[in-house]
Every structure is written in structure tokens, then in C-alpha cells.
Amino acid sequence: MKYNKTAVLILLSFLFSLSINCSSSKKIKEPGVKKWTYFKIYADADDAPIFVKLQDDLDIDPKLERYSIVVDKRDKDSNNWYVIFGDEEGSYQPRFAWSKLSKDVQEGLVNWTGSNKENLQ
């Protein structure tokens, strides 16, 4: 079976550009992303170590490669801040106090600027 070299090169170029454009580590251009107080992150353990450390902090075992979390820091009282492991819409999603996360994970989530971070306000 013979392949047209031009067609193969075009196909490979297209697939390469598609893989670059689909990367979840792309940065969000929206200003103020680090100031969001209510947001969701579609976490991928390959994106950053904080997504593995977060599971350590919350005693999640076995570790998940991909998951979503919702962070809610809208209340003026920091004792009421929380993280939901999974989507809020689910029938049961574990809710954890923000204070259960280590400082480096807290800072990593707040300062995350990947395109997989979504503002929920």
C-alpha cells in the first residue's frame, strides 16, 4: 500500500498542532484569575505535583490521575472555606475544609492559571 507523502505530512502536522492546542497547561489570559474565590479545576496529575499532593492532603487513595475539584473561598470567615472533590452537582461529593490542604497546595490552587481553571462566579 503506497501513501502519498504530502498527505501523510499534512496529517502529521495537523495532529501535532491539535495536540499543542489541546494542552491543559495553557495559560488563561483573563485578568484576575489569581483573585478568583469560587472556581473549578479539572486536575491532571501530569500537569503539576500539587494535584498529587492535594490527594495526599485529603487522604485520597488510590490516587486518581484526573479529577475535578471545586474551591469556594467566598465567605468572609475562612473557617467556612472548602474544597469539593468532584463536581458539586453529584449526588455525593466529599467536602473538605480548606484548612486541611497544605499551604503550598492552597497557594498552588489559587495561583493556578491553566486553561483547566474555570471561574464559577
Residue 48 included in any domain: yes
Question: Is 15 a domain residue?
Answer: no
Residue 6 lies in a domain: no
Residue 42 domain flag: yes
Structural domain includes residue 53 = yes
| Structural domain for 91, as ranges | 26-119
7 domain-assigned:
no
Residue 61 near residue 48 (C-beta atoms within 8 A): no
For residue 90, being part of any structural domain is answered with yes
What is the structure's pLDDT at 18? 42
Assigned domain for 20 exists: no
pTM: 0.74
Question: How many domains does the chain divide into?
Answer: 1
pLDDT at 4 (0 to 100): 61
Give mean pLDDT in consecutive 10-residue pieces for the chain, a chain of 121 residues. 53 46 54 94 96 96 95 98 86 91 98 96 92
